[in-house]
Structure 1
Amino acid sequence: MPLHAQITDRGGLGSLVETFLPWFGLFIPVLLAGALWRRSAAAVVALLLPVVTWLSLFGGLLFDTSQPGGDLTVVSHNVNAENPDPAGTARDLAASGAELVALQEMTPQATGAYRRALAKAYPHHTVQGTVGLWSKLPLSDSRPVNVLRGNVGPLANTRRAEDLPVEPPRALRTTVATGRGPLVVYVAHLGSVRLMPRNGFWTDSRDVGAAALTEAVAAEPNERVVVLGDMNGTTDDRAFDGLISRLQSAQEVAGGGFGFSWPASFPMARIDQILVGGVEPKSSWVLPATDSDHLPVAAAISW
């Protein structure tokens, strides 16, 4: 657990371990049972090492560190391209009362349903490809952000570049006009990760996107930045070291528990992130399930 960064990432092994790192704590009761079965006092004492290690890594997440208040509430949700009821999902998100709602994995067919269902509560919005942001506050300078950076899909090594499908934008940047000054918001859906027979845990597309998003945030002139989206990775994953060095996870700073968001049927990892810089997270939580395979995540932030 403490040396996870030293595990090779060949075949994506390091990334796979880091995605489910908190779950390694489940081995502790097994080790305890073995020590008791052997009636070994030395084994019980030695068990303190993994216990202390796990608590040092994740113990802070066991306590509710949220605070009341907040100037702005944000919600992020991967709505799932196969969502059977996009309008219902949109109504559920609007009921949260959030000032900003970020959606990922929208299809061209469903985008209209999201627009119509959110129009009354959110008069301002921008959609760039498969991602969008709906806002109760005015938006400006909205534009796509390139997080694809070339042909990095699993077919890229076997097909000519001109034969590969051209994907729509999967990230955007916009400026929200608040009463406390401009807030820059990025909405992103990074590339998927897959278990593949030859490549192992394939993360190339996600890693390229993480690097591109980190580069964009690093070059951002505005002091106050919020990044919302499905990152297809946890904040423990080494692919996000550059991004986490600049931004804070709202869940880790002001949440209660791990805030797992995927899969919705049995959440095992928090791959849907709310990251902030220049503002203070006051609270962070997971919203009830919709018809997506992800759970929506929310946070209240303050100046």
Structure 2
Amino acid sequence: MRIAVLAFLLAVLLVFPGLVPNSPGHLGSLAETALPWCGLGVPLLLVWAAVRRSLKGAVAVLVPALAWAVVFGPAFAAGHGSGRPDFQALTLNVGGDRTAPGDVAREVKAIDADVVALQKVPRPAMGAYERELRAAYPHHVVGDTIGLWSRYPLRDVERLDLGGAWPHALRAVARTPVGDAAFYAVRLPSVRVGVTQGFAVAQRDASAARLAERVARDPTSRVVLLGDLNGSLRDRGLAPLTRGLRSTREQAGHGLGFTWPAAFPVVRIDHVLVRGLTATGTEVLPDLGSDHRPVLTGLRGGGR
């Protein structure tokens, strides 16, 4: 009986994580972030049923197994994305002092994206990144620890203050092969987990809401948001962004696409979101020495 009850509760959590209240400690956001890993409860319950020799318990565990397959199975389906991209965009949190500008720049140039957003660039190292990437990317803008490099001319540059300890975003319009597109290079405030404060996402959520408001009133029909959002898109705190932008992983990715921590990724917090464009493919690239993995996405004109 206990196995069946736990199996039912696990299935409900997988299908309806929004039922978990966000107070205290933003538990709802934490549950949504960890949701893919809740599937580990299935083999644990199966082992328990086997130890108890409970056929009914084993059958009950099929319910959360099916729930996990329904929720996450489509991400592994073939056929996501198609066609030749008009251009490619790359996002990477370089990890601060974990990486050397020359090494990262060499890897970035080898990836051969057309637009590159780098976050958490140490201020003393920004000049080195500018020098190393200048030949491959003649157009660039930087602000604080964020930079946007492009093969296409950039204009209408804005440095956006989203609240918190540092400016969190850059915006610039690039003249891409399919027309003007507004690019946002973003790093939202960090998230911490603590005994007293719980899942501390309040500052990130506030910045995400301000960013979503700015994106919603962007006059450019094509928008590409590249960056470290410090959260899973299942997290309700990032819902203001996902209401107006589409995830390229959902459009054209394969698998869960975890990006952090780089050595053994357990969550996707680095994202490419778009409006007015369609993803032809998106992939998480190998570890380049940062604690985040880079994400490369192909884009073409069209899309809602």
Residue 18 of structure 1, CA deviation: 1.3
Residue 218 of structure 1, CA deviation: 1.1
State how 1:265-276 maps to structure 2 within 5 Å.
265-276=263-274
| Structure 1 match to 2:35 | 21
Q: Contact 1:102–1:187 at 8 Å: present in 2 too?
A: yes
| Structure 1 match to 2:226 | 228
Residues in 2 aligned to 1:142 and 1:52: alpha-carbon distance in whole angstroms? 48
1:38–1:196: structure 2 CA closer, same or farther, 3 Å change rule? closer
1:95 maps to a residue whose letter is: A
Residues in 2 aligned to 1:203 and 1:260: alpha-carbon distance in whole angstroms? 19
| Structure 1 match to 2:292 | 294
| Structure 1 match to 2:16 | 3
| Structure 1 match to 2:205 | 207
Q: Contact 1:146–1:212 at 8 Å: present in 2 too?
A: no
Question: Cα deviation per residue 1:54-110 (whole Å; 9 max; x = unaligned)?
Answer: 112111112242424111100000011122412211210111110000000112111
2:154 maps to a residue whose letter is: L
| Structure 2 match to 1:158 | none
2:280 maps to a residue whose letter is: K
Residues in 2 aligned to 1:285 and 1:114: alpha-carbon distance in whole angstroms? 24
Residues in 2 aligned to 1:50 and 1:264: alpha-carbon distance in whole angstroms? 29
Residue 302 of structure 1, CA deviation: 0.8
Q: Contact 1:254–1:281 at 8 Å: present in 2 too?
A: yes
2:238 maps to a residue whose letter is: F
Pairs aligned (count): 286
1:32 maps to a residue whose letter is: L
Larger displacement relative to structure 2 (264-273 or 50-59): 50-59
Confirm whether residue 106 of structure 1 aligns to residue 121 of structure 2. Answer: yes
2:244 maps to a residue whose letter is: R
| Structure 2 match to 1:145 | 160
Structure-2-length-normalised TM-score: 0.90
Confirm whether residue 32 of structure 1 aligns to residue 33 of structure 2. Answer: no
1:41 to 47, 55, 63: 55
Residues in 2 aligned to 1:246 and 1:269: alpha-carbon distance in whole angstroms? 22
Residue 41 of structure 1, CA deviation: 2.7
Residues in 2 aligned to 1:68 and 1:87: alpha-carbon distance in whole angstroms? 33
| Structure 1 match to 2:176 | 178
Larger displacement relative to structure 2 (97-106 or 194-203): 194-203
1:200–1:224: structure 2 CA closer, same or farther, 3 Å change rule? same
CA RMSD of aligned residues (A): 1.3
Q: Secondary structure at the match of 1:229?
A: strand
Residue 224 of structure 1, CA deviation: 0.8
Q: Secondary structure at the match of 1:221?
A: coil
Residues in 2 aligned to 1:69 and 1:179: alpha-carbon distance in whole angstroms? 13
1:188 to 186, 189, 195: 186
Confirm whether residue 217 of structure 1 aligns to residue 215 of structure 2. Answer: yes
Gaps of 5+ in 1: 152-166
1:49 maps to a residue whose letter is: V
Residues in 2 aligned to 1:84 and 1:104: alpha-carbon distance in whole angstroms? 12
2:67 to 50, 53, 62: 53
Structure-1-length-normalised TM-score: 0.91
Residues in 2 aligned to 1:241 and 1:145: alpha-carbon distance in whole angstroms? 20
Q: Contact 2:96–2:121 at 8 Å: present in 1 too?
A: yes
| Structure 2 match to 1:262 | 260
Q: Secondary structure at the match of 1:101?
A: strand
Residues in 2 aligned to 1:210 and 1:282: alpha-carbon distance in whole angstroms? 26
1:239 maps to a residue whose letter is: G
| Structure 2 match to 1:82 | 97
Larger displacement relative to structure 2 (9-18 or 227-236): 9-18
